[in-house]
Amino acid sequence: MAEKIKNESEITESKKFMPNLSYDSVIFGFNGKQLKILILEYHNTGFFALPGGFVRRNESLDDAVKRGVRHRTGLDRIYLEQFHTFGDIERSDSEAMMRILEENGMDLKTNQWMLDRFLTVAYYALINYDEVTPRPDKLSDSISWYSIDELPALMMDHKKIVEKALQVLRENLEKKLIGMNLLPPKFTMKQLQQVYEAILGENLRRTTFQRRILSMDILERHDKLFQGKAHKAPYLYSFKSEKII
């Protein structure tokens, strides 16, 4: 049996995007102490979720994610890494989606396509915490930083996505010079160590860490940073420019 003819607006709306496919982003920031991620809350629902979006028919997957993350953070150059695609059947939750549409006064017919099953491609982003004032979009009440060990309950499989992001981030820590994307251009050795400790979730030895990083020959040393504290002032470092990706 042929299905009934769809109404025009649904066709128009759903044709803008690749169907049944979304992306979700785990946006990491570092506030000097803790590793944090951006979580948004949908209007009037109590639903917390990762910032995500859809892929337009005339843009690449990577570009779609760049566009979305740029839009939410205001940052132009963002370190992004795709880490997994989630495709379980049960991951989609049409009832929750319906709630969100209703609470935002969106037409169910027009947006029917959003209630279907979705696969999602997950990316993590590393950004300089201080440069960002995240702004909520139309659908969400708030978008704000949460420490990774104090996350609210997340909708659908977003908790699983965050866990996988963290796992891959840890695995990539050594081989991808990740620190540079979470810190300001100049930083002290202690700050870099704190980034590593926050990501790994464990304490590192100061002398060993310093020796290992310096032996990698990726840092440039600058003037000392006088913090106005009663002790020796640390050097500032930056990543050697030729090492930057």
89 burial level (CB within 10 Å; 0-12, 13-18, 19+):
exposed
Residue 54 CA to residue 24 CA, distance in Å, equals: 9
Residues 202-241 that bind DNA (CB under 7 A): 205-208, 210-212, 214-215, 224, 226-235
- Judged by CB under 8 A, does residue 245 bind a second copy? no
In angstroms, what is the minimal distance from the CB of 88 to a second copy?
5
Query: Residue from 20, 104, 112, 188 that binds DNA (CB under 7 A)?
Result: 188
Check if the beta carbon of residue 26 is closer than 8 Å to that of residue 125. Answer: yes
In angstroms, what is the minimal distance from the CB of 211 to a second copy?
23
In angstroms, what is the minimal distance from the CB of 209 to DNA?
8
- Judged by CB under 8 A, does residue 138 bind a second copy? no
- Judged by CB under 7 A, does residue 71 bind DNA? no
Query: Residue from 32, 46, 74, 87 that binds a second copy (CB under 8 A)?
Result: 87
- Judged by CB under 8 A, does residue 154 bind a second copy? no
Residues 29-68 that bind a second copy (CB under 8 A): 55, 57-62, 64
Instruction: Give the binding range for DNA (CB under 7 A) out of 50-58, 63-71, 81-89, 199-207.
Output: 199-207
In angstroms, what is the minimal distance from the CB of 30 to DNA?
16
- Judged by CB under 8 A, does residue 198 bind a second copy? no
Which parts of this chain interact with a second copy (CB under 8 A)? 2-3, 5-6, 8, 11, 18-21, 55, 57-62, 64, 82, 84-89, 117, 119, 121, 171, 175
Which parts of this chain interact with DNA (CB under 7 A)? 188-190, 205-208, 210-212, 214-215, 224, 226-235
